[in-house]
Structures are given as C-alpha cells and as structure tokens.
Structure 1
C-alpha cells in the first residue's frame, strides 16, 4: 500500500487519521507514522476496507429499518 492508496481509502471512510485510530483502537502516533516513519502495515488496507463496508451496511440497515419495523 502506498500513500495515495491509503489517502484514497481513508477519504472514502470520511475519517481522518485520528478518528481512524480511535475507531480501531490503535494509538494515533502509530497511524500517523504510517507511510512516513514506517511503511504502511499489511493490515491497513483491510482495516480501511472493513470500515467502508461497515459504513455501507449501516446505511442499508438505516434505510430498511423503517420498512421492517412494521413487519416484525
């Protein structure tokens, strides 16, 4: 993973580095150092893609909740 890919995926989440760190429980200094002090870890892509999938799923749930509320 390079800086451009990281930035693109981070942008898709709508989060900044500090918010990502808090969300996944990694110290901000660690996330902030990725790509400058140390290479991006192999799991960075997985984390960002997982956040994007969860956000998408939350949008779907929010959209269908009113429909299912009366059915259940």
Structure 2
C-alpha cells in the first residue's frame, strides 16, 4: 500500500499513527516508519483498516436503527 493511501485510511478510521499504534499495541516508531525510506506498509494494514472502517459504519447504522425503533 502506498504511503498516501495509508494516511487517507488512517484519517477515515479516525486514527493517526500514534493512536493506531496504541490501538494495535505496536511501537509508534515502527508505524511511523512505514512508507519511509523504502519501508513498505505491511500487507495486512489496508484490509485491517478497511474492515475497521466498515465495522464502524455498521455500528453507526445499527445505532440509528435502534434509536428510530426500527431495530431492537
């Protein structure tokens, strides 16, 4: 994954590099180096962030439906 795509997905997930590293229990220095000096963003990060974002959206929809009385 390209560095810019990583930054966009982090923002979409409401993470920055520090909060992302803390959430996953990774060293900030490692996460911060991804995409720099030839260091690639690990292959699993893109799918993880996409699933996190999708899950967040599903939770928001569920809350809206619950609040509206449509879903209990």
TM-score under structure 1 normalisation?
Answer: 0.78
Task: List 4+ stretches of structure 1 deviating above 3 A.
Answer: none
TM-score under structure 2 normalisation?
Answer: 0.78
Q: Secondary structure of the equivalent of 2:20?
A: helix
Equivalent pairs, count: 69
Listed as ranges, the matches of 1:28-67 within 5 Å are 28-37=28-37, 38-66=39-67, 67=69
The offset of 1:13, in angstroms, is 1.1
What is the alpha-carbon distance in structure 1 between the residues aligned to residue 48 and residue 56 of structure 2? 12
5+ long unaligned stretches in structure 1 = none
5+ long unaligned stretches in structure 2 = none
Q: 1:24 to 1:57 in 2, by over 3 A?
A: farther
Q: Secondary structure of the equivalent of 2:36?
A: coil
